[in-house]
Amino acid sequence: MVLSPARDDRISAGSLNFHYVQWGEHGQPIVCVHGITANAFCFQALADELARDHRFIAYDLRGRGDSDKPDHGYSVPIHAADLAEVMDALKLERPVLVGHSLGAFISLYFATHYPDKLSKLVLIDGGTPLAWKSPDERPGWLTGSIGRLGTPLPSFDEYTQRLKAAPFLGPYWTHYLDIYFEHDVRFQNDGSVISKSRREGAFEDLLYLEEENEPQQQWAKVQVPTLLLHAGQGLFSDDDQLVTEEYALALQRDIKDNKYVKFPALNHYTIIFGIDSGPAREIRSFVDKE
């Protein structure tokens, strides 16, 4: 059953206004941080499994969804500072922090620079050095994801049909992807749609990841229990994952208190969209463990 949010609102945090969603009103708070072109509703499937007895909260990063979109100022440290402001504005004390993709890099950085503001850390398919060395080597699935930003299409149906053509999305399409992409776009007066995410912000974030980010230097500094979820399935090919096997094992070795779980049949997207109950089950077990 798809849970309706208990709250779906905007909040002032720092110098910006952020859109956030909360499913569930009782229990340990869990705060989720999404990927580079995503929005808060990418976590709906996890919310449906966890919000019965947890306050499950996700927000749109700056430049995404219904949050403010400044012209410049996009990087992992800036997003981490925003996250601290959002937590303070929502009066959250040491929640569990869950990050997927870019959100995993932000959450890892947050755990090492704001260690007293979280109780546990979940990194979903992110938080390691990138598998490519230059923009020319970016994987096709990432280029396509960012490429959809800023490009209007005649209708929402055409928008989703193009997405369903992707081999890593189409065969696994569920109502969770419908919900996610409905919140991804702005409907214009002529019926056309365009993604809400700021294209320039996504590129600024990506350049930071490629040129400045060094997550491997942060691993040993993590002070809280950590759950590592790794998507083992490729997207366009068998070896174009965001997190390579080599880096996943290095991450597992260097973070002191961690549990590592690999999902060979899930890819970078399907790991959060409810295709398999395994990720939600692992997160629940980890969060509830004393």
Residue 159 domain-assigned (yes or no): no
Let me know the angle formed at the C-alpha of 231 by 62 and 102, rounded to the nearest 5 degrees: 15
pLDDT of residue 238: 94
* Structural domain harbouring 29: 7-133+199-288
Residue 13 domain-assigned (yes or no): yes
User: How far is 19 from 86, CA to CA, in rounded Å?
Assistant: 10
CATH number at residue 34: 3.40.50.1820
pLDDT of residue 237: 95
Residue 281 domain-assigned (yes or no): yes
Residue 18 domain-assigned (yes or no): yes
Residue 239 domain-assigned (yes or no): yes
Range 93-110 burial, b when 16+ CB lie within 10 A, else e: eebbbbbbbbbbbbbbbb
pLDDT of residue 176: 98
User: How far is 272 from 270, CA to CA, in rounded Å?
Assistant: 5
pLDDT of residue 1: 84
Q: How many domains does the chain have?
A: 1
User: How far is 262 from 277, CA to CA, in rounded Å?
Assistant: 13
| 238 touches 230 (CB < 8 A) | no
Residue 57 domain-assigned (yes or no): yes
CA distances from 265 to 42, 245, 249, 277, 280 (A): 19, 14, 18, 12, 15
Alpha helices in 116-239 (DSSP H): 140-147, 156-164, 175-182, 199-211
In a structure prediction context, what are the per-residue pLDDT tens digits for the chain, which is 290 residues long?
Answer: 899 999 999 999 999 999 999 999 999 999 999 999 999 999 999 999 999 999 999 999 999 999 999 999 999 999 999 999 999 999 999 999 999 999 999 999 999 999 999 999 999 999 999 999 889 999 999 999 999 999 999 999 999 999 999 999 999 999 999 999 999 999 999 999 999 999 999 999 999 999 999 999 999 999 999 999 999 999 999 999 999 999 999 999 999 999 999 999 999 999 999 999 999 999 999 999 98
pLDDT of residue 133: 86
Residue 89 domain-assigned (yes or no): yes
Which H or E element spans position 107? helix 102-113
pLDDT of residue 290: 81
User: How far is 236 from 77, CA to CA, in rounded Å?
Assistant: 31
Enter the DSSP assignment of 225: -
